[in-house]
Amino acid sequence: MKRASGILMHISALPEEYGMGTFGECAYKFADFLKSAGQSYWQILPLGHTGYGDSPYQAFSAYAGNPYFIDLVLLEKENLLKKIDFETIDFGINQEEVDYDKLFENRLKVLEIAYQNGKEQLGQQIDVFKEKNKLWIQDYAMYMAIKYKTGFLSWQEWDKDIKLRDKKVLEKYKKELKEEINYWIFVQYLFFKQWNALKTYVNNLGIKIIGDIPIYVSADSADTWANGKFFKLDADKNPTTVAGCPPDAFSDTGQLWGNPIYDWKYLEKTGYKWWINRIRESLKLYDIVRIDHFRGFEAYWEIPFGDATAERGKWVKGPAIKLFDAIKAELGEIAIIAEDLGYLTQEVIDFRNETGYPGMKILQFAFSTKEESTYLPHNYNKNCIVYTGTHDNDTTMGWVNTTGVKKEINFAKRYLKLNKREGYHWGFIRGAWSSSANIAIAPMQDFLGLGNAARMNLPSTLGGNWKWRMKNEMLTKDLSKKIYRLTSLYKRVGVGDGSPK
* Per annotation, catalytic residue among 16, 71, 392, 394: 392
Strand partners, 385: 360, 439
* Per annotation, catalytic residue among 54, 139, 212, 292: 292
* Distance in angstroms (rounded) separating the CA atoms of residues 339 and 349: 12
Catalytic residue list contains 392? yes
Neighbours of 473 (CB within 10 A): 8
CA 269 to chain centre: 29
Catalytic residue list contains 339? yes
Neighbours of 342 (CB within 10 A): 17
* Per annotation, catalytic residue among 16, 180, 212, 339: 339
Strand partners, 303: 242
Q: 286-305: buried (b, 16+ CB within 10 Å) or exposed (e) per residue?
A: bbbbbbbbbbbbbbbbbbeb
Question: What is the dihedral sign for C-alpha 248, 250, 255, 257?
Answer: negative
* Structure letter (DSSP) for residue 298: T
Name residues whose C-beta falls within 8 Å of residue 345's C-beta, 6 or more positions apart in sequence. Answer: 298, 299
Task: Return the half-sphere exposure (C-beta side, CA atoms, 13 A cut-off) of residue 323.
Answer: 25
Name residues whose C-beta falls within 8 Å of residue 114's C-beta, 6 or more positions apart in sequence. Answer: 75, 80, 81, 186, 190
- Contact assessment for residue 49 and residue 3, using Cβ atoms and an 8 Å cutoff: no
CA 170 to chain centre: 31
Q: 346-355 vs 321-331: helix axis angle to the nearest 10? A: 10
Look at residues 453, 450, 447, 446 and name the one whose alpha carbon lies nearest to residue 479.
447
* Distance in angstroms (rounded) separating the CA atoms of residues 8 and 27: 13
* Distance in angstroms (rounded) separating the CA atoms of residues 281 and 273: 12
> What one-letter code names the amino acid at 54?
D
Neighbours of 132 (CB within 10 A): 11
* Distance in angstroms (rounded) separating the CA atoms of residues 73 and 23: 10
Catalytic residue list contains 292? yes
What are the residue numbers of the active site? 292, 339, 392
